[in-house]
Amino acid sequence: AQTVTQSQPEMSVQEAETVTLSCTYDTSESDYYLFWYKQPPSRQMILVIRQEAYKQQNATENRFSVNFQKAAKSFSLKISDSQLGDAAMYFCAYRTTNYQLIWGAGTKLIIKP
Amino acid sequence: NAGVTQTPKFRVLKTGQSMTLLCAQDMNHEYMYWYRQDPGMGLRLIHYSVGEGTTAKGEVPDGYNVSRLKKQNFLLGLESAAPSQTSVYFCASRVSGANVLTFGAGSRLTVL
């Protein structure tokens, strides 16, 4: 069975600096998708970025980028120029071939002004 | 456009009571999901539906029932609530072939 591990329960970063959140996963599938979701205090789940496993190029969305290492089964999220609005829980998720999502336990990101 | 709407947003129940959470989506999505979120854990799938009139069990289905009588609605029922069902419940939906889920705002349920 697939598993997703986020080893950092909490991270903090100074405003305007860069922070990297870690995610590792275990799977025997070759075709899958990976996601980072953000959950602010409002509880709303918001998609931050996604990566298709067959694409070697790392996905980027403005200040958010990933470091996808398929062989190492690693999928980290880098947030550049951190802003106060980035404070939230961040969840890594893996989409199986039958479209089920397996979620990590989350990382709480604190932004220090 | 409302997206995915969950009602109620908050509810307190006593052990043994029953209740139904309603999820409504106005995007004509085929797939709908119910998750629960507990502290220190990722979301866990309770039940899901691939279309009107169909439902299937997820990772943690025990103690819950669901129905999808209309395409736009997905109901989650607790027949006899237990304290272990205290959680935040999320509904999500997606269109067939899409990878991205659209989530509701969550429903916080407390069972005393």
Q: How far, CA to CA in Å, does B82 sit from each of A77, B22, B87, B106?
A: 37, 19, 11, 19
8 Å CB contact of B99 and A33: yes
Q: For A96, which residue in chain B has the nearest alpha carbon?
A: B99
- pLDDT of A12 reads 97
**Is A64 within 8 Å of A50 (Cβ atoms)?**
no
The mean pLDDT of B20-32, rounded to a whole number, is 96
Which of B45, B100, B105 lies at the smallest CB-CB distance from A50? B100
Residue ranges in chain A modelled with pLDDT below 50? none
In 3D, which of B31, B65, B62 has the Cα closest to residue B48? B31
- pLDDT of B51 reads 94
Strand partners, A5: A24
Which of B31, B41, B103 lies at the smallest CB-CB distance from A45? B103
pLDDT band at B37 (very low <50, low <70, confident <90, very high): very high
pLDDT band at B97 (very low <50, low <70, confident <90, very high): confident
Q: Is A104 on the interface with B (CB under 8 A)?
A: yes
Return the residue in B38, B90, B101 with the most chain A beta carbons within 10 A, the one to mutate for interface testing. Answer: B101
- pLDDT of A66 reads 97
Which residues of A, range 32-51, sit inside 8 Å of B by Cβ?
33, 35, 42-45, 47, 50
Which residues of A, range 6-35, sit inside 8 Å of B by Cβ?
9, 33, 35
- pLDDT of A30 reads 84
- pLDDT of B100 reads 87
Query: CA B78 to CA B49: how far, in whole Å?
Result: 17
Q: Is A94 on the interface with B (CB under 8 A)?
A: no
- pLDDT of A31 reads 86
8 Å CB contact of A95 and B103: no
Distance from CA of B96 to the nearest CA of A (A): 10
B11 three-class SS: strand
Q: How far, CA to CA in Å, does B96 sit from each of A6, B17, B24, B50?
A: 29, 36, 17, 8
- pLDDT of B52 reads 94
- pLDDT of B1 reads 61
Looking at residue A112, its amino acid is: K
